[in-house]
Amino acid sequence: MERGSFAAYLGVLHHVEVLLRNAIDQQFPATDADHVASICDTDVWLTDPAFLEDQGREKVNDAIRRLVGENRRPTRGRLVASLTLGFWTALFSGRYEDLWRSHLVQAFPNGGGRRSEVRGALARILQLRNQIAHHEAIFARDLAKDHAHLLSVAGLIDPEAQRYIAKHSRVVALFPRRPDLLLDR
């Protein structure tokens, strides 16, 4: 089941990651210029010290340098897309409690308003994503629970997107093919 489950989960992971990062980015004002003029430009919330701590801004600056190194104009959209799931997940740690209250909570209109709810689900999703990306075995994981966390995060953001992702997910079809030995934990 490993090879099929990797591909099936990647599809769901990609949908949820794009939904997540776009929902977060939409909570910050648009700027007149979509272009990030320099690494220190504060016209984009991702480079503004009022929002991100030094470590987060350094990851943003690294992404800007990568885009420039690839001869790609570092627009806000490209910058948002080039940041890792780990970056987005880190925004839900305790050090960003003020950012949660001022902006991030609004990205999850169907949630209970608790940062820990989102943080816990994203931590599990990030761990799954990293295991898949590094071709580590995932058969010992509770894959049904992982799938439920993915759909849960999508539902906190947008129930219609959650339904779309669930409808197109190939993950559930893999569960009957899973060896019984692994299901009896």
Most confident of 73-87, 124-138, 162-176: 73-87
Q: What is the dihedral of CA 121, 124, 128, 130, to 10 degrees?
A: 110
* Confidence class for position 24, pLDDT limits 50, 70, 90: very high
- Per-residue pLDDT, averaged over 58-73, amounts to 93
Q: Is the pLDDT of residue 42 over 50?
A: no
Neighbours of 79 (CB within 10 A): 20
- Please state the φ and ψ torsions of residue 35, each to the nearest 5 degrees: -80, 135
More confident residue, 175 or 157: 157
* Confidence class for position 181, pLDDT limits 50, 70, 90: very low
Least confident of 38-42, 137-141, 162-166: 38-42
Name the nearest CA neighbour of 49 among 66, 61, 62: 61
| CB-based contact 155:46 (threshold 8 Å) | no
What pLDDT is stored for residue 182 in this prediction? 45
Residue environment code for 42-65, b if the CB has 16+ CB neighbours within 10 A, otherwise e:
ebbbbbeeebbeeebbebbbebbe
* Confidence class for position 143, pLDDT limits 50, 70, 90: confident
SS3 136: coil
Average pLDDT, the chain: 85
